[in-house]
Amino acid sequence: MLKQSLTVLVIFALAGGAFASGIIISPGTILDVNAALNVSGDFINSGTLAGNGTVAFTGGSGATQNIAGSSNFYNLTCTDGGTQLNFEFDKTQTIRGALTLTGQAGSNIVLRSSSPGTWEINPQGARQVTRVDVKDSNNIHSTAIQASNSIDSGNNINWFIHATGPDDISPVVTVEAPNGEELIQSGSTYNIRWSATDEGSGLPSNPITLRFSSDSGITWQIITGGIENTGAYSWLVPPVASDLTACRIRVEALDLAGNTGADTSDADFTVLAVPTEKPLSSVTRTSPGRAATLLLNFQSPNAGEAVVVIEEYTGETSRIIFKGQTAVTEGMNSFTADLISQITGKPIERGVYTLRIFYPATGRKVDTKIVVP
């Protein structure tokens, strides 16, 4: 780990790159980066940055990293969504090589000014900029920065391409998940994912509306509206009494000129009903040393097969010590078995265990506790 303050000329030639908690280049000194320099803290340049290496900002999600002074980067990289990079007001960051700023769905890289006013960027080479949230940035290069799936938080110059004429181009939206065939448990949370971009006027900060259909898209009910184009939304799936097999999601985006673009799930997905009846179990042991006998009565949601497993918890981890399967009909079924551990080959000892019934046809699982005497 490099120490914070660099007061002499330092050359990085490490094949695997160097790691620094923070960088301070003092006045009159040169930092010559010719490999990868990973910086997890601030980058404060009062001297000179040189070399043809990559400076990567690796503070990670939740970190705020300050970039102060004007620097002449070769490659500048940040690939951790949720990182905030604060650029010093009125200073210029020149990138002679590649500019790579790539956040993740639902987790943008946030680009801000250190104080009110613009910060300048001059990306002269290749750009890969996606899932950023940018504000107060003046791109002084002649070519605009095209940031896809990103948020224009205002006061940006030569970012995105906002046409000056009337915008008659609708946003382009793609639903990524759920896109059909999924089995989603009602009452759970599900991560709806999409992408949305717009040519022309661009997207405002809260352009997205999400809707849900349970009749293959004939009718729609709203889930939420006026949310950011982050590409992801944690949806609390409504509880339903019986399986809904014709469900779709629709994502709509509204651009600044009032054009709407939308997409739906390509095919139906299923919201599975919450199982209503807990399985009833009794476990008896006729004499010590003999295997206990399990009798299980349970309600199957479908005909087919059920798999019954018993898990034992040992400290932090669990392991399956029993596994059986049985053909089932829809409705009440019974299952009985002598409880022999598949690990030791001996009768399962007394204790409290987790019993799980799993239905491979639907993916549904039901857990209960059993007490083995």
Give the interface with Ca ion as residue ranges (CB under 5 A): 167, 169, 175, 198, 200, 255, 259, 263, 266
The residues, ordered by sequence, that sit 6+ positions from 3 with a Cβ below 8 Å of its Cβ are none
Q: Give the contacts of 348 (CB within 8 A, at least 6 positions apart).
A: 291, 292, 310, 321, 322, 339, 340, 341, 372
CB 171 to Ca ion: min, Å: 6
Q: In this structure, what token pair is assigned to residue 197?
A: 């971009």
Extract the tokens encoding 303: 């005909």
- CB-nearer residue toward Ca ion: 58 or 156: 156
Residue 253 · residue 227 · CB < 8 Å: no
- Residue 356, Cα to own-chain centre: how many angstroms? 29
Residue with smallest beta-carbon separation from Ca ion = 200
Please enumerate in sequence order all residues whose Cβ is within 8 A of that of 353, keeping only pairs 6 or more positions apart, or say none: 310, 311, 312, 321, 369, 370, 372
End-to-end CA distance of the chain: 57
Q: Which is nearer to Ca ion, 48 or 259 (CB)?
A: 259
**Nearer Cβ to Ca ion (175/223):** 175
Judged by beta carbon, residue 84 or residue 259, the one nearer Ca ion is 259
Q: Closest distance between Ca ion and the C-beta of residue 199, in Å?
A: 6
Question: How far is the C-alpha of 136 from the C-alpha of 153, rounded, in Å?
Answer: 8
Residue 253, CA distances (Å) to 151, 156, 226, 260, 293 in order: 13, 21, 9, 6, 59
CB 150 to Ca ion: min, Å: 15
β-bridge pairing 364-372 and 43-45: unpaired
Q: How near is the Cβ of 183 to Ca ion at its closest, in Å?
A: 19
Q: How far is the CB of 215 from Ca ion (least distance, A)?
A: 17
Nearest-approach distance from CB 198 to Ca ion, in angstroms: 4
Beta-ladder partners of 269: 247
CB of 256 to Ca ion, least distance (A): 7
Sheet with strand 119-123: strands edge to edge: 71-73, 92-95, 119-123, 137-139
Please, what is the minimum distance in Å from the beta carbon of residue 149 to Ca ion?
A: 15
